[in-house]
């Protein structure tokens, strides 16, 4: 069940965002109940002047989880790279969730800028987790740029629409069998997360669907169970759909009556 990302072994396949929770206590309880090993953190939680982010940083230390800083809200290569440098200094990790936003309504990635920034950061020793599309050409360029993980979106950030293009996501899984693939953005229900895992995805990253739930703590646990179930189902090689009925009871040895 364990997952390896850049040589780090993780027990959980759920990565959890840390924004929009009703309180720090709820966030901490959700992290614990979801049993996640990795949480994503925006640099904007840390203040360079009065260190307002120190309370939040202390909370994460108490949770005993690995931090994946992100470049959320960056719209240019320069901004994303600069933010990544600051995040590495503050959080003391080479991991960076790289976002270069290209469009305001969908918050979709600027894939050209993303590839450029990924190459720069990889050459500087960062271990890049790129927020990208399901386009195979872009994915290949990101791998060529040094990314050893790909994070395609399921649907727009915070939309809860689920897997908008499962065929494309399935093709990506088949095209990159040896690259860890993490669904990032758009998941709204545990069933949607389970569906992604049943396709062979390695993990799911969530924020809004948990943080904005009526009970984030319970929802975090629900997603953890769904992701585990989906992964186990994929590994069990599920029965493929068929056009015709197939009897589950054998007809051999059945009595025939005239």
Query: What pLDDT digit, counting tens, does each position of 39-51 carry?
Result: 999 876 444 444 5
Give catalytic residue positions.
97
- Is 25 in contact with 33 (CB distance < 8 Å)? no
Residue 257 has pLDDT above 70, yes or no: no
Can you say how many angstroms the Cα of residue 257 is from the centroid of all Cα atoms in its chain? 59
Question: Buried (b) or exposed (e) across 167-198, using 16+ Cβ within 10 A?
Answer: eebeebbeeeeebbbbbbbbbbebebbbbbbb
Residue 89 has pLDDT above 80, yes or no: yes
For the stretch 138-157, pLDDT in tens is 999 999 999 999 999 999 98
For the stretch 200-215, pLDDT in tens is 999 999 999 999 999 9
């Amino acid at each position: 069940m364990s997952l390896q990302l850049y040589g780090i072994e993780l027990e959980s396949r759920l990565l959890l965002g840390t924004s929009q929770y009703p309180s720090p206590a709820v966030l901490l309880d959700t992290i614990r109940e979801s049993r996640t090993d990795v949480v994503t953190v925006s640099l904007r939680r840390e203040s360079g002047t009065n260190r307002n982010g120190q309370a939040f940083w202390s909370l994460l230390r108490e949770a005993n989880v690995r931090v994946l800083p992100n470049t959320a809200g960056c719209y240019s290569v320069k901004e994303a790279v600069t933010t990544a440098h600051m995040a590495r200094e503050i959080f003391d990790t080479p991991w960076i969730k790289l976002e270069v936003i290209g469009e305001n309504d969908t918050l979709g990635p600027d894939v050209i800028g993303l590839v450029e920034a990924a190459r720069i950061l990889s050459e500087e020793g960062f271990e890049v987790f790129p927020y990208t599309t399901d386009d195979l050409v872009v994915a290949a360029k990101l791998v060529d740029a040094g990314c050893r993980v790909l994070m395609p979106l399921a649907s727009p950030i915070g939309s809860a629409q689920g897997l908008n293009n499962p065929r494309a996501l399935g093709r990506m899984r088949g095209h990159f069998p040896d690259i860890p693939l993490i669904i990032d953005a758009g998941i709204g229900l545990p069933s949607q997360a389970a569906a992604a895992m049943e396709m062979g995805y390695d993990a799911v990253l969530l924020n809004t669907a948990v943080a904005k739930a009526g009970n984030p703590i319970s929802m975090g646990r629900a997603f953890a169970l769904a992701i585990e179930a989906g992964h186990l189902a994929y590994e069990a090689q599920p029965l493929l759909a068929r056009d015709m009925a197939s009897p589950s009871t054998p007809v051999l040895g059945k009595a025939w009556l005239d």
